Amino acid sequence: MFESAELGHKLTKKVYKKELPALREALLDAQLDLLQSKKFPVIILLAGVDCAGKGETMNLLHEWMDPRHIESHALRELTDEERDRPPMWRYWRDLPPTGKIGIFIGSWYSAPLVDNVHGRTKNAELDQQLDRIIRFETMLCNEGALILKFWLHLSEKQQKKQLKKLESDPKTRWRINESDWKNFKMYDRFRTVSERMLRNTSSPQAPWTIVEGADAQYRSLTIGKAILESLRHRLDAPEAPKVEEPLPPMLTSIDGLQILQTLDLTQKISKNDYKKELETLQGRLNRLSRHKNFDKISVVAVFEGNDAAGKGGSIRRITQALDARSYRIIPVAAPTEEERAQPYMWRFWRHLPRRSRVAIFDRSWYGRVLVERVEGFCSHADWMRAYGEINDFEEQLVRNRTVMLKFWLSISKEEQLKRFKEREKIGFKRFKITEEDWRNREKWEQYEQAVCDMIDRTSTEIAPWTLVEANDKGHARIKVLKTACDRIEQALNKQ
């Protein structure tokens, strides 16, 4: 894999100097086109062997292009705000918006590589991590990002030479320390693991480009040209009318039996029992939120349901039991301008809670496979891939010791009609029924199908859906509270 990058590629100063001006001009032009068209974001990864020129390349790119529209990120110590969230949170924070270029040294590849080289992970674990990376990058590409991944390579001999050269020059001596030499002694191990990593994560959409790093002129011009070519290719591509790929249809059960139909919506609780249970459960939830292990976990609760199913009321029964300082409710509305310039999931990542905090999403990322699917706001392929992306997202949360609660509040079509009419009678504007509510109702069956598919595809062992029979508000609230208590208690006991 690295053979071609050990051939001793070189470029004379003369050739370099001759070719550079045109390249810079063209890069600057491409960058401006990108900025003005805001067609997509560009993510450039610079990885590779120590001393192969990652930092120099980053600096050069800043010099060649307009540095005002490049955002650079280097590996550094995690801040405590980052340590509280899933490992990928820091990268989500740093994603460039459409029209901009983000350059990463020390990206999501660093930890998996180093951990395996030093024996902290087995190969199976590494492969698992790499698999997650592929899924992450595939998502970015599907969202429109252009990902360019460069691996700067040096042969063992070349690396030794570079280390010595940097060490002997007083201007660069500060860059070399003992750990560099220690790493150098593990050259073979690094090489083996790197190769495995590159092989497994070179996808058609985001392939690795291996560049020999020894000769600065060759290296710089190679990378510059590769970036230019990729940029131009995407910028100049004609805006083809988006053709929906013919995806296989989702199968519906041939006997018409669906999960939602199995719910017994007649379940009820008496007013008295409701009062008693409510008090007990709210007391229990409050005590749990003050448990000594509560600062080791975080809680993310998602509320979805039919219109008028009582999401707000259920949420309030939870928050009443919590200290207002510990929770935040995120009502999911139309995305802001800054959110629209990012991948779909970005608007949810930014609201992830710190440890010991509770985030309650009133509607959520499931909008993609519910309203956006039914109303045709996104393409078939977009909502089909959302199932997998959502599962990946929730898996990361759970691995980070987040209790993931997902409630679907279900009412019958008749009950909804009754509630709509009641709301119309009450003059209060906050209960105003909009035309949209009535329109959605006409698509009841389509929504029902979408809900069933959602449950089938995203109710996982680590992040199960709780289906809540909500024709009786009391019953629904008690079930929500009890589920929350049980799941949180379970998590606290595991810490």
Task: Using CB under 8 A, list all residues that contact its own copies.
Answer: 25, 28-29, 32, 55, 58-59, 61-63, 66-74, 79-81, 103, 105, 174, 290, 312, 315-316, 319-320, 323-325, 328-331, 336-338, 362, 428-430
Cβ proximity to its own copies, 321 vs 467, nearer residue: 321
CB of residue 105 to its own copies, shortest distance in Å: 7
Cβ proximity to its own copies, 103 vs 193, nearer residue: 103
Cβ proximity to its own copies, 59 vs 177, nearer residue: 59
CB of residue 226 to its own copies, shortest distance in Å: 18
Cβ proximity to its own copies, 122 vs 173, nearer residue: 173
Cβ proximity to its own copies, 160 vs 423, nearer residue: 423
Cβ proximity to its own copies, 68 vs 271, nearer residue: 68
CB of residue 43 to its own copies, shortest distance in Å: 15
CB of residue 315 to its own copies, shortest distance in Å: 8
CB of residue 63 to its own copies, shortest distance in Å: 6
Q: Residue 275 is which amino acid?
A: K
Sole residue written with tokens 């987040």: 402
Q: How far, rounded to the nearest angstrom, does the alpha carbon of residue 146 sit from its chain's CA centroid?
A: 16
Burial of 155 (0-12, 13-18, 19+ CB in 10 A): buried
CB of residue 289 to its own copies, shortest distance in Å: 11
Cβ proximity to its own copies, 70 vs 481, nearer residue: 70
CB of residue 337 to its own copies, shortest distance in Å: 4
